[in-house]
C-alpha cells in the first residue's frame, strides 16, 4: 500500500483540467489523501484515485415490458454487492430523487453512490448505507 503525506506531489485526475495532472496533498484521512490542490489550475478538490479501465455494464437497466428497474449481474460482484443483493431479496431499488419520500428499509439507486438501503429517517434527512459507507441525503 502506498504511503501518502501532506505536501506530497501526486498525479491525479482533475475535473477542471479534464485530465490527470500533478497535485499536492492538502489533507489526509486514515492515511489516504482527502483534499488536493491542482498544480495547473489551483482548484481544490477531493482525491479521486485514477480509475482502471474496466468494461462493465451499467448497474441498472430498464425492463422493456414492465418499465421497472432490474439489477444487472456483473462479471465479478464484490462481497458488498452480494450481501446487498441477498438482503434486497427481489425488492426494486427506486432511482434517488430529492422530491421522493424515503423511509427506513427503502432501496435506492443513487447516480453517484450506487445501490443503497435507507437505515434511518430524521425529519427531512435519511441515512443510507452504500458501499462507500453511510451517507446522509435529503428526503421529502
| pLDDT tens column, 40-64 | 898 888 887 656 555 555 555 444 4
Where is average pLDDT lowest: 33-42, 51-60, 130-139? 51-60
Residue 23 CB burial class (10 angstroms; 0-12, 13-18, ≥19): buried
Q: What is the pTM of this model?
A: 0.41
Can you say whether the dihedral through the CA atoms of 71, 72, 73, 79 is positive or negative? negative
Amino acid at each position: 500500500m502506498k504511503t501518502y503525506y501532506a505536501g506530497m506531489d501526486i498525479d491525479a485526475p482533475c475535473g477542471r483540467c479534464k485530465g490527470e495532472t500533478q497535485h499536492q496533498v492538502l489533507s489526509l484521512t486514515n492515511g489516504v489523501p482527502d483534499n488536493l490542490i491542482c498544480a495547473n489550475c489551483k482548484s481544490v478538490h477531493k482525491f479521486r484515485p485514477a480509475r482502471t479501465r474496466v468494461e462493465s455494464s451499467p448497474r441498472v437497466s430498464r425492463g422493456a415490458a414492465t418499465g421497472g428497474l432490474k439489477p444487472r449481474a456483473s462479471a465479478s460482484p464484490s462481497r458488498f454487492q452480494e450481501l446487498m443483493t441477498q438482503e434486497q431479496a427481489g425488492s426494486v431499488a427506486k432511482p434517488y430523487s430529492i422530491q421522493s419520500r424515503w423511509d427506513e428499509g427503502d432501496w435506492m439507486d443513487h447516480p453517484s453512490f450506487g445501490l443503497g438501503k435507507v437505515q434511518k429517517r430524521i425529519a427531512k434527512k435519511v441515512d443510507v448505507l452504500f458501499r462507500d459507507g453511510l451517507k446522509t441525503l435529503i428526503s421529502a
